[in-house]
Amino acid sequence: MIVTKIGPLSLAKITGMLYALMGLFFGGVVTLFSIVGAAFVPETGDFGLMGLAFGAAAVVFLPIFYGALGFAMTLIGASLYNVIAGWVGGVELDVQ
């Protein structure tokens, strides 16, 4: 079986969701580190609150950023694959 064409939009939707889930995981890790870091900040400064705000924003921002970037780059990559596969042939797969 030779893959000569990929549906760019369908692949980009799948990849965008996968990247958004990765962003959610990484946002959770950043939030965890910011909460732990805020616990060690002296109470005289506002840096603890800034760390907590940064961590909370990471849970929202990173999934959106990762998902959008993964979607856009996969859409471009799949479209380029279709053009290049038309010139040189597709990727050969052995399926059982």
Share of the chain above pLDDT 70, in %: 91
Torsion over CA: 39, 22, 75, 13 (sign): negative
Across the chain, mean pLDDT equals 88
- 32 compared with 48, residue with greater pLDDT: 32
> How confident is the model over 33-80, as pLDDT tens digits?
888 877 777 666 666 677 777 878 888 999 999 999 999 999 999 999
Share of the chain above pLDDT 90, in %: 52
First CA to last CA distance, the chain: 10
Reference 82, options 20, 4, 30; nearest CA is 4
* pTM of full prediction above 0.85: no
The two structure tokens encoding residue 2: 């030779």
